[in-house]
């Protein structure tokens, strides 16, 4: 009788964990649009209080996409989900889902806010021209509500786009690569 090698068992466990994680994470349509907009505005206020760079660029930004409650779960393979609001000149314009998969040396669970500042209309066009895809790498260490985080991706390396991860809580360590997809959706009232 053949048995799976140890590496095969780890990958099988990671895939099983990923499947369970996706099933446990909330779906975007469960949050009413007015509640999501309120959460996003509150998240932006927290970001502005704690980041001088974000606060200084807020008035100059053409649009800001805010995901107030991003959740990530990882064990070798990670999954991340969020729902958010795109504000154009601080008026809610559209609603978006964020789904990301990652792999590498990673373990933990965390919750955080994520904001993308589009400093011009051309920068915002990149979101639609790329069909919402982002590929990158992100060493990250979160313990409680502290953070060391750096990332390089196809989004934050473009001129006219600033990204901020903030209000991070949980326990997460990761060094790996990720692919993310941002999709616009129409919320049901």
Read off the pLDDT band of 169 (50, 70, 90).
confident
Residue 94 lies in a domain: yes
A 10 A CB-CB count for 142 gives 23
> Which domain range does residue 53 map to?
6-185
Please check whether residue 163 is in contact with residue 149, taking contact to mean a CB–CB distance below 8 angstroms: no
Pair 19, 101: CB distance under 8 Å: no
Classify residue 122: in a domain, yes or no.
yes
pLDDT digits (tens, 9 = 90+) for 66-109: 999 999 999 989 999 999 999 998 999 999 999 999 888 889 99
Q: Would 84 be classed as within a structural domain?
A: yes
d(CA 175, CA 24): 24
Residue 39 located in a structural domain: yes
For 102-152, write each residue's pLDDT tens digit: 888 889 999 999 999 999 999 898 888 877 776 665 555 555 554 444 444
Tokens of 79: 């999954």
Residues 6+ apart with CB under 8 A from 131: none
Q: Please determine, for residue 10, whether its predicted confidence score (pLDDT) is greater than 70.
A: no
pLDDT digits (tens, 9 = 90+) for 27-71: 444 678 899 999 999 999 999 998 888 899 999 999 999 999 999
Domain assignment present for residue 106? The answer is: yes
Domains in the chain: how many in total? 1
Q: Is residue 1 part of a domain?
A: no
């Amino acid at each position: 009788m053949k048995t799976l090698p140890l590496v095969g068992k780890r990958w099988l466990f990671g895939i099983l964990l990923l499947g369970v994680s996706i099933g446990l994470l909330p779906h975007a349509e469960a949050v009413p649009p007015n509640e999501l907009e309120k959460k996003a505005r509150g998240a932006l206020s927290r970001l502005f209080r704690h980041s001088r760079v974000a606060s200084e660029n807020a008035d100059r930004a053409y649009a800001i996409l805010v995901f107030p409650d991003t959740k990530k779960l990882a064990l070798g393979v990670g999954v991340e989900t969020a729902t958010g609001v795109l504000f154009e000149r601080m008026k809610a314009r559209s609603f978006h889902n964020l789904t990301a998969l990652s792999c590498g040396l990673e373990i933990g669970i965390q919750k955080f806010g994520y904001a993308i500042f589009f400093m011009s209309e051309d920068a915002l066009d990149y979101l639609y021209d790329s069909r919402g895809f982002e590929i990158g790498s992100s060493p990250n260490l979160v313990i409680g509500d502290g953070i060391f985080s750096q990332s390089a991706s196809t989004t934050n390396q473009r001129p006219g786009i600033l990204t901020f991860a903030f209000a991070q809580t949980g326990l997460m360590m990761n060094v790996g690569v990720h692919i993310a997809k941002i999709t616009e959706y129409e919320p049901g009232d």
